Amino acid sequence: MIGLIVTGHGNFATGITSSLRLIAGEPHDYQAVDFLPEDSIDLLTEKLRTALNSLSDCSSVLVMADLAGGSPYNVASKLRMEGAASMEVVGGTNLAALIEASMGREASEDVKELADSVAATGKEQVIRFLTDEEQKEKKAAPAKAVRRKVDPDAPKGKIIHARVDERLIHGQVATVWTNTVGASRIVVVNDAALKDEMALSGLKMAKPAGVKLSIVSVKRAVERFKENAYAGDRVFVITKNIADMAELVRQGVGIEKVNVGNVAKREGSRNIKKSVNLTEQDIADIHEMINSGHPVTAQMIPNEPDQSILSYL
């Protein structure tokens, strides 16, 4: 039997599982893994490993995540690359896809075949209702390309947003922030990622379609920006920690303002707001950036108040 894991942001996994039970009955060889606001990436990884271990008697496992490029999808993909189990990963899960997966296991032992079927079903079930007249108009009208929102009057060839996010490229960055700021290139500044093939693969998979990606060390980032290597791009800079962002500012990279989104809990850190945990060194770096004329905010998502991080300290 193929084991099934569903995972997603917030209570997506347990919520969609309740719908699955209502329609298709109690699933077996099944785990729902929620990624809660207070969970770190390490905790999510541990949760998914535990779920995989609980399905060790299954011939293989299909993991279904809510959002392709989101943290649950990225962590599951990394576990697959590590060879944690004979598994496949599908992103963009909806209820139709989950029902197909749960019931399709009865007829197939091929997890790759099941993953393909699930992905196809999920896409087919995303339908916009059109009246007969609207359907005629749609058939007659030329197809329009879907374009990422970009402000044509915004300055070109400069950093339009700088964010500290310990998850680097994940759901909020890939699907919300990149579109909100109209970025044409994401520059991930992280020394460790360059030495980790799985991390590099994960970042490339999480990159939004139509947006360029550069992954560089702190030193190389300083060089590239001073060379004006990204001329013509609207650049979204992401660092994993505050220290790296502070160093970019210190070295004169053209960052006007810094947004702190996610900083993991570490030894000696204290929580100042949801998803932001700071050490005394982090706070010192923040004060240094602010005192040098670079405001620092703490904003997880765009519709949160864009206010100084000092208000949380």
Residue where the block lists tokens 């160093």:
247
For residue 265, report the phi and psi dihedrals to the nearest 5 degrees.
Answer: -70, 130
The amino acid at residue 203 is L
The CA distance from 193 to 216, in Å, is 8
The CB density around residue 179, as the number of other CB atoms within 10 Å, is 15
- Using alpha carbons only, give the angle 133, 135, 140 rounded to the nearest 5 degrees: 100
The CA distance from 121 to 112, in Å, is 14
For the chain, strand residue ranges (E) read: 2-9, 30-35, 60-65, 87-90, 158-165, 185-189, 212-216, 234-239, 258-262, 270-273, 276-278, 296-298
Q: Which of 114, 62, 105, 53 is nearest to 84 (CA)?
A: 53
Q: Which of 20, 16, 15, 89 is nearest to 48 (CA)?
A: 89
Catalytic residue list: 170
3-state SS class at 270: strand
